Chains A and B, each alone.
Chain A
Amino acid sequence: MISAAEERYYIASQQQLIWRRFKKHRLALISAAVLFLLYFLAFTYEFWTPYREVTQHQGYVNTPPTPIRFFDAAGNFIGPFVYGLDYELNLDTFERVYTEDTESIHRIRFFARGEPYRFWGRFELDLRFFDAGEGKVFLLGSDQLGRDVFSRILAASRISLTIGLVGVFLSFFLGATLGGISGYYGGLVDIVIMRITEILSAIPQIPLWIALAAIVPIDWPVTRTYFAITIILSTMTWTGLARAVRAKLLEMREQDYIMAAKIAGASDMRIIYEHLLPGYISFLIVNITIAIPGMILGETALSFLGLGIRPPAVSWGTLLEGAQNISNIALYPWLLTPALAVIATVLLFNFVGDGLRDAADPFKEL
């Protein structure tokens, strides 16, 4: 006799088995959840940020992160609020020194009407998640033009997070198609495609990216630059995917069930889509997840050099461009916070990738 639990295990589909194995990977599961949250924030960032990412706050240049207070100077509980800021010029360094004005108290209001914005560039709204009214709340400080770093990081996540996805789908399309043709048909086609991937991967990647990105005209609109950069990033990434797909297909097409399908008279297309694709789709997903961080890092590097996304559009790379100057970072270390966003995102993707790789391995015990 087998128990009900065992029966469920034996009749579970491949997807269900993978999901079960993935759920066991605590770190990967949590990382996946956080990533979903990040993408959600990126798609709706206008609501979560207190200011527009391009607003320059007069008189608030290079302010350090605003502390959120709960008790006033006398120790009375008020709830979350910020003090107003005074500044004076330090005559030795000619830097502004900001001090809190404990007389002026600005409560933080949630779901409040704040600075108006256009949601997705379309709908005129002014509802914001939080706002400090007359006071200024810079959770991660402000930059050299008085723009809120927190708002800018969230706004930048829309480009930085999606460029990896779009780029990966592009290289996925190229890699899976060409790798699939190569592995399934073999022969001369195989040799040609494999030689192309070899030649492309022999060119040093970042110099080639720089050369390609330098072609993109400066006066192109943001969306066109965006797609140009994704295409540039995909030029090198698809080769790895194509080789992986080919290797997997070579291994699979020798299996008996493929031979059986052939003898039964199934067409090539039917064999590819009905019998081969389900076998390596999980493998593809794993490879895609692993390829995304490389794309994100690539975009950051190009934008950092001023060759990728260009202001006024914001990505994490363009934000870091402002941190190129060492004396700037030494004085205003919060300008490096976009780096944390990059590192965290890449880490999360790596954890999810690791978890998926283990989950998709059919020979791994539950």
Chain B
Amino acid sequence: MSFSKYLIQRLIYAVLVLIVISFLIFMIVQLPRGDAVDRIVNARQAQGDIITEEDEAALRAQYGLDKPIFVQYFIWATQFARGNMGHSMLGIPVDKLINERIAATVLLSVISLIVTYALAVPIGIYSATRQYSLGDYFWTFVGFIGLATPNFLLALILLFLFHKFFGLSIGGLFSPGVEEQPWSLAKALDLLNHLWIPIIVIVTAQTAGTIRTMRATLLDELGQQYVVTARAKGLRYRQLLFKYPVRLALNPVVNSIGYILPRLISGQTIVAIVLNLPTLGPLLFSALLAEDLELATSILMIQSILAVIGVILGDIILSLYDPRIRMEKGVS
């Protein structure tokens, strides 16, 4: 199957998946909370306005809430697909609120992904080639702790340590007052200064998992007979290692890009709330607490779209890296 045909199939499938997801999200967020009109009526009555049954019905008609839920969903979905996400409760267009934060979310996810692999692959190779050495035990230990620590806790602990030993406050992505300034070298450095703590926190769990995968598969490969044969024929160890076993062991690791990206987007949600980062997570949290449903639905939808894009990118990278995958997966 040609690559472009495979790609088109993947994209069509992704769109179908997103349609189902959008329906689920719409139901989860909007269905259980009564409707917006009830809240508006309550708020107005609290201010002393008198609202008749007709007023309520008129409001319902205005927001389209007099129609069955499926019709409501259809209206919302078509509007969303056109990029019209409505207004938040504070009257700010939802797409403006989201646009402000989407860049930071994507930036954080992509850097986290790169850092995850940049750390996990070399450490995995090191641990597998020096099995049961001190270094191997050290990284195994770090890996277990990394997997066991919820990342918001890690964020709290790091915040605490930095506060205690350096007197620094490390929340946010910029120092106070820097964000409004135009881009300059100083601003970029300030960003870097704030970025590395959240990155460490976000990547820890994924890195720990990836190290274990890399180590286990590479150990399997190193035990194969072709390694012995190649050594017997006089191939240098380092040359052999990077030419065959490492490349094969990278397969499941590359394969994991597809699910690591959604997990990074998911995992950074709570970290971002704790560290007060300008990403989508904290916005979703406050929107849900304030029952700002339009905003919450849109954010969940955008996060899912980012996750699905991540999965597709993962599939594409994998199929470029290993053509066998394309042949197998292309059929379904």
Give residues in A with beta carbon < 8 Å to B. 198-199, 201-208, 210-212, 214-215, 293, 297, 300-301, 304-305, 320, 323-324, 326-327, 329-330, 333, 336, 339, 342-344, 346-347, 350-351
Contact = CB atoms under 8 A, between A and B. Distances in A.
Nearest to B269: A206
28 contacts: A202-B262, A204-B262, A204-B263, A204-B303, A205-B262, A206-B269, A206-B281, A207-B266, A207-B281, A207-B284, A207-B299, A207-B303, A210-B284, A210-B285, A211-B25, A211-B284, A215-B32, A293-B147, A324-B274, A326-B156, A326-B159, A326-B169, A329-B159, A330-B164, A333-B160, A343-B153, A344-B148, A351-B144
B270 interface: yes
Contacts, number: 120
B269 to A, nearest CB: 5
Contacts of A202: 17, 21, 262, 304, 307-308, 311
B137 interface: no
Nearest to B267: A206
B289 interface: yes
B178 interface: no
A297 B149 CA distance: 8
B150 A342 contact: yes
B25 A203 contact: yes
Given A199-B21, A203-B25, A305-B273, A346 B307 contact: no
Contacts of A346: 147-149
Interface of B: 17, 20-21, 24-25, 28-29, 32-33, 144-145, 147-150, 152-153, 156-157, 159-160, 163-164, 169, 259, 262-263, 265-267, 269-270, 273-274, 281, 284-285, 288-289, 296, 299-300, 303-304, 306-308, 311
B284 to A, nearest CB: 6
Provide the main secondary structure of the chain A interface.
Answer: helix
A346 B164 CA distance: 27
Given A204-B265, A210-B285, 8 more contacts: A201-B262, A207-B281, A297-B150, A300-B153, A329-B156, A336-B157, A342-B153, A346-B149
Given A211-B296, A297-B150, A343-B149, A203 B24 contact: yes
A204 B145 contact: no
B285 A305 contact: yes
A35 to B, nearest CB: 13
Contacts of B20: 199
Nearest to A212: B28
Given A203-B21, A211-B29, A304 B152 contact: yes
Given A329-B160, A330-B164, A206 B150 contact: no
A350 B212 CA distance: 13
A330 B273 CA distance: 19
Which 6 pairs from chain A and chain B are nearest by CB? A204-B266, A346-B148, A214-B288, A347-B148, A206-B266, A329-B160
A210 B21 contact: no
Contacts of B149: 339, 343, 346
A343 B145 CA distance: 8
Contacts of B262: 201-202, 204-205
Contact of B147 (A300, A305, A350): A350
A232 B135 CA distance: 40
B28 A320 contact: no
A301 B150 contact: yes
B270 A330 contact: no
Contacts of B21: 199, 202-203
Given A301-B152, A304-B152, A346-B148, A207 B269 contact: yes
A199 B25 CA distance: 12
A333 B163 CA distance: 12
A243 B125 CA distance: 29
Contacts of B153: 300, 320, 339, 342-343
Contacts of B300: 203, 207-208, 211
A202 B263 CA distance: 9
Given A301-B270, A350-B147, A203 B284 contact: no
B289 A203 contact: no
B308 A210 contact: no
A208 B156 CA distance: 23
Contacts of B274: 324
Nearest to A328: B160
A205 B157 contact: no
A212 B31 CA distance: 11
A339 B157 contact: yes
B144 A350 contact: yes
Contacts of B270: 206, 301, 304-305
A203 B303 CA distance: 8
Given A210-B269, A305-B273, A205 B156 contact: no
A323 B308 contact: no
A204 B147 contact: no
Contacts of A212: 28
A336 B285 CA distance: 23
